[in-house]
Chains A and B, each alone.
Chain A
């Protein structure tokens, strides 16, 4: 299957300042999280794949076509910019209907779609207020609305959850996941790890204009062989289990926590360890309450990759 977005050796320089360096990625349908700290190059990447910026080097293909100066592609692309900017003299409803009309929808169709999406994002009651009077959260929801109102196949959201209240976040996260499940391509950027984690397991880690890693979070874990994994086991015979595990070659450390029924181990060979653990559970007749991986989250991967751990 052809990728929806493909970049080949993509680089962008702002004068002498590096924005993005030699990025080659393929993005297929589903939700993809673009993760990196502020200034990492996320927005530059998104502006390049939406044809707002011209690549200094390399190529960008969207739906198999070059995106620069190819506006017809935008019939199926929705973009939510990071900047909090609007046509402030319009009401939320006017803004949305005009944005839809710029997608060549008739006035009637635009009004119908605008009402539908404003209702979905809980803006229906305030739709006739001028945008300048909107709260930060309302403005953010309106930005998302204009990106999805025309029912695009490719949705690109730059920090979409900024300024949203917890309820709004949950709703938008749910919607993004639904879009991905429907076979659309959703690219979401964020510097907040739990946000991305809640939306997808497919991530692209970006830092200092370069892609550090991309793929499933577990796949990325496997890439980092030298990075030890911590696994926590809660059971009724923690000391017997610890005694058995300390002899295993793949186990580096064994810790006891304040919880008398918990033992934590550190390993570099996760799969081998889990095979052994299964056998030990049967041999020792353990009553296991929980097996968790406290550092199996994006923060751990990210910190490790950017060298902060």
Chain B
């Protein structure tokens, strides 16, 4: 048999490769210990919401309504902590865990489009984290608004917030995927970025706050009321809605594209154990 004859019909197509990688990593994610651990961490806001609602029921009307607590505390917990920590661990490991765990040879010796690996695994991780976060958010929302569940209008708030969080997951996941490819200690630098840069720069006045991803996410939400939070000296100067969405999508495309190009170009040395 000619060495080339049997290869001529076999083309490695991008989308079938993305599909197969996505299916594999989504399945792996559902069964992994790490996913279960993060699923547990997403229960934390549910517990907080339940405690708040319980105390409200037991001790009478508190100063703040359920919707207020949901918008200003629970949503901020998701935005400033949960999606950052989850996307950091999932995103930075898109490539790094295969290198550190020496499982990369199984993937790079399959007839899979090289860039499809990054896109497929990114998509699987984004969907896993996104579903976990939105599930947790929805439960919190329902608990805190237990007495208003009949009002149709409040579900628009939930849908909007779920959309914002999903956009946040997409953006941060792309950014941390890129970090995981270029850095060996991506988690360390990711933590510095998440809880240093993102949490500080967003409160800077003027244009500076536009250098934080969270700025665009917050711009999609109604301005946070200052009632009860007088200690906040700096105000969000929101970017228009369409511009914010485009910027976030731009971040996704830019970092995902860069990750794909780097992954295809770079060689990864796997240590023999």
A interface residues with partner B (beta carbon < 8 Å): 2, 4, 14, 43, 47, 50-54, 63-65, 69, 71-79, 81-87, 89-90, 94, 98-99, 101-104, 146, 153, 183
Contact = CB atoms under 8 A, between A and B. Distances in A.
A54 B108 CA distance: 13
Interface stretch (B8-16, B140-148, B239-247): B8-16
B111 A69 contact: no
B4 A64 contact: yes
B105 A52 contact: yes
Chain B contact patch, size range? 35 or more
A84 B20 CA distance: 24
Given A87-B103, A89-B32, A98-B24, A71 B111 contact: yes
A2 B2 CA distance: 8
B185 to A, nearest CB: 19
13 contacts: A4-B3, A43-B272, A63-B4, A64-B4, A69-B114, A73-B111, A75-B10, A85-B103, A86-B103, A89-B33, A102-B24, A146-B106, A183-B1
Interface of B: 1-4, 6-7, 10-12, 16, 20-21, 23-24, 27-28, 31-33, 101-114, 264, 267-273
B111 A104 contact: yes
A23 B103 CA distance: 27
Contact of A89 (B2, B23, B31, B267): B31
Contacts, number: 110
Nearest to B273: A83
Contacts of A83: 102, 105, 270-273
Given A52-B108, A83-B273, A85-B101, A64 B3 contact: yes
Contacts of B12: 71-72, 75
A231 to B, nearest CB: 40
Nearest to B29: A89
Contacts of B16: 104
A71 B113 contact: yes
Nearest to B27: A98
Contacts of A74: 109-112
A51 B108 contact: yes
